[in-house]
Amino acid sequence: SQTIHQWPATLVQPVGSPLSLECTVEGTSNPNLYWYRQAAGRGLQLLFYSVGIGQISSEVPQNLSASRPQDRQFILSSKKLLLSDSGFYLCARSRVGGNTIYFGEGSWLTVV
């Protein structure tokens, strides 16, 4: 099976602190990887996607960055968190050329 692991599942961070959310994928090589955010009362917003190691596309200007150091690893980071960074962050994957995207269980971030 093709599984997506995200961690941590929940975290509470103070404003101005750094962030690192990690996502790893099993069972598939060279996947497309995505980070989505779901803020309270809002829909799903695509933040970043990657079609390969070191290849990152940013969808919206923001306080966050992403990296893909290995084929099946996708990391979401921030140097200094803002209150507005609070939300539910979802990692997702798809096959290259595939038309279906699958999601992980998500990570809840609360910035206080």
Query: Least distance from C-beta 49 to other proteins, angstroms?
Result: 6
Residue nearer to other proteins on the CB measure, 14 or 40: 40
Query: Least distance from C-beta 17 to other proteins, angstroms?
Result: 24
Residues that bind other proteins in the complex, under the rule CB under 8 A: 32, 34, 42-44, 46, 49, 51, 59, 90, 92, 94, 99-106
Residue nearer to other proteins on the CB measure, 17 or 55: 55
SS3 letters across the chain: CCCEEEECCEEEECCCCCEEEEEEECCCCCCEEEEEEECCCCCEEEEEEEEECCEEEECCCCCCEEEEEECCEEEEEECCCCHHHCEEEEEEEECCCCCCCEECCCEEEEEC
Query: Least distance from C-beta 56 to other proteins, angstroms?
Result: 13
